[in-house]
Structure 1
Amino acid sequence: MFAIGSVVFAISLPNIYKSEALLAPAHTESSGGMGALAGQFGGLASLAGINLSGGGGIDKTTMAMEVMKSREFVGKFVQQHDLLVPLMAAKGWNVTRNELEIDADLYDANTSAWVREPNPPRGAAPSEQEAYKEFSDIFSVSQDKQTSLVKVSVEHYSPHVAKLWVEWLILAINEEMKRRDLEEAQRSIAYLERQIAQTRVAEMQAILYQLIEEQSKTMMFAEVRDEYAFKTVDPAIAPELKAKPGRALICVLGTMLGGMLSIMIVLIRYFTRKED
């Protein structure tokens, strides 16, 4: 019974496809310039209350990876590309028509409305927290410590959807990190210009002008490069083979579990009757 049940269960599971891309960190030159200025003029700048060292902190690659896994980034990504239905209501993929199969108990495609049973405090439509949890289960980003290469992957019922989402994720994180650095550089330039207007020390003004030059380089670098945080080494593809489930393993484990339970039941019944 367990063997037959495990076979039926394994066959009923839909295929899951995994698409992944290999990325290389795209380093900027601005941090090196700032470090050189800090070593050269740090003592003089400290007299004016300006910190050039920048302190510690994590590198840009680690920051970009953590941003990709953050609730804010995932929420914006799902909303921008309208992924709530394929993320939360899909139950399979029709290979012939190349279409996602939508669970009618969760979402009515005819009326474009969520029809699942509300479970307060959650309503019929999935919340942003639900979408984040579901997306985190199918999305992965990791870095090889030896090569520093980053792997981004997405699992989905459709191999084409998985490939598309990986491509969108790479574009989104590059745009997000570019936006953050541009805003930071603009704020820094505005601050430095205010400091120049307030100081009359020629050496101090020279430092501030060099800092503005470094921030201008950052802005120029961000404007001219599309692959700002990561460069694509191996792009995502639509996989032909499924990543899971492992149906053979499920059948073997189900049969073994049934065998062990059967032996336990037989032994228990044997010793129980013997005592009687």
Structure 2
Amino acid sequence: MTQQVQQHQAHSPAYFEQAAEDEIDIRELFAVIWRGKWLIVACTLVFAIGAVIFAINQPNIYRANALLAASDQESNKLSGMASQFGSLASFAGINIGGRTGTDQTTLAIEVLKSRQFFKDFLDKYQIKNDLMAAKGWNPVSGELSYDPEVYDAQTNNWTREVKAPNPVEPSMQESHGVFIREVLSITTDKETGLITIAAEHISPVVAQQWVSWLIKDINQVMQQRAQHETKANIIYLKEQLDKTSVAQMQTVFYQLIEEQTKTLMLAEANDDFVFKVVDPAVIAEKKVKPKRALICVLGTLLGGMLGVMLALVRHFAKGNVDA
């Protein structure tokens, strides 16, 4: 019965009338688009020109990256100490079991992204101008140019306009935010454990220098931390050794002092304390962004879609007014 009703409705005049209305609507839609073709062309042209101008004015950005591996010597040494003397050290109040190779690498990465490390890096190499005000790079002379509305290179004064309480010269926290968001990237391959440290800048020379400096400094910082911690452990163990007269405890302290001394010697002798460079950073020959062709295509498509939407809105708004 239901099938018969459906067949009857399919052959009824109302059905054909509805189908005809749908077909007319589609034709009308294309007709509206055709009538608004000049509006669509104008919007597309404006957005295309704007996209081209925007893409041309964007400076080239270059990326330098280095491939690193965790220092096996440090990892194996600390792992061996943790397994052999972990319980003895815990009894004596010394913690060596938590510093495995993986933990050291993770800690080094977090230190590398920290505000304190960046502050020391900023003060040591005086990179604030290149980070916050660089506008262009001359591939022939290798010199950077700066945005005059931000920084005056001749007078060495910051000229940007900011709202209070922000200072005219970018603060350490502001510079750190830009460095983490726009410059530095650190990735770890889960399968191999290899780490890639990369930096982006309008100058490929600057990007390469920053990556090299970062690797050198993080190894030095972690090396100094380990030395300071180990020296403090040795001092503490010697103090405890002087306080006890039990032969077994003295043996334990002698063993711990010996191992801590070996660790100190390892830290002082190993420049690649945390990271070993597998593939050093080089000066990039090709930019990584902007993708100017993609910007132009997307801008043109956006203009065309906006033009079609404006043509449809204008037609239906006019139809509602006439009704």
TM range (shorter): over 0.9
TM-score (norm 2): 0.80
Q: Match for residue 148 of structure 2?
A: 104
**2:77 is equivalent to residue 34 of structure 1:** no
2:84 partner letter: A
2:86 partner letter: A
Q: Match for residue 66 of structure 1?
A: 110
Q: Match for residue 130 of structure 1?
A: 174
**2:307 is equivalent to residue 262 of structure 1:** yes
Cα displacement string for residues 146-177 of structure 1 (whole angstroms, at most 9, x for unaligned residues): 10101000000000110011000000000000
Aligned with residue 79 of structure 1, among 117, 123, 146: 123
Residue 205 of structure 1: how far off its partner (Å): 1.1
Q: What is the alpha-carbon distance in structure 1 between the residues aligned to residue 96 and residue 148 of structure 2?
A: 58
Q: What is the alpha-carbon distance in structure 2 between the residues aligned to residue 51 and residue 7 of structure 1?
A: 63
Q: What is the alpha-carbon distance in structure 2 between the residues aligned to residue 55 and residue 158 of structure 1?
A: 41
Structure with higher Rg: it is 2
The answer on whether the counterparts of 1:30 and 1:214 sit within 8 Å (CA) in structure 2 is no
Q: What is the alpha-carbon distance in structure 1 between the residues aligned to residue 49 and residue 190 of structure 2?
A: 45
Q: Match for residue 151 of structure 1?
A: 196
Which structure carries more helix by proportion?
A: 2
Unaligned runs of 5+ in 2: 1-45
Residue 8 of structure 1: how far off its partner (Å): 1.1
Residue 203 of structure 1: how far off its partner (Å): 1.1
1:82 partner letter: Q
State the SS of the aligned residue for 1:242. coil
The answer on whether the counterparts of 1:199 and 1:205 sit within 8 Å (CA) in structure 2 is yes
**2:271 is equivalent to residue 223 of structure 1:** no
Pairwise mapping of residues 1-276 of structure 1 onto structure 2 (< 5 A)?
Answer: 1-27=46-72, 28=74, 29-39=77-87, 41=88, 46=91, 50=93, 54=97, 59-137=103-181, 138-275=183-320, 276=322
TM-score (norm 1): 0.93
Unaligned runs of 5+ in 1: none
Residue 7 of structure 1: how far off its partner (Å): 0.9
1:270 partner letter: H
Residue 124 of structure 1: how far off its partner (Å): 1.3
Identity %: 47
Runs of 4+ in 1 over 6 A off after TM superposition: none
Residues 114, 184 of structure 1: alpha-carbon distance in 2 compared, 3 angstrom cutoff: same
Q: What is the alpha-carbon distance in structure 2 between the residues aligned to residue 115 and residue 171 of structure 1?
A: 33
Q: What is the alpha-carbon distance in structure 1 between the residues aligned to residue 96 and residue 53 of structure 2?
A: 63
Residues 52, 242 of structure 1: alpha-carbon distance in 2 compared, 3 angstrom cutoff: closer
Residues 92, 234 of structure 1: alpha-carbon distance in 2 compared, 3 angstrom cutoff: same
The answer on whether the counterparts of 1:10 and 1:251 sit within 8 Å (CA) in structure 2 is yes
State the SS of the aligned residue for 1:6. helix
State the SS of the aligned residue for 2:63. strand
Q: What is the alpha-carbon distance in structure 2 between the residues aligned to residue 17 and residue 130 of structure 1?
A: 22
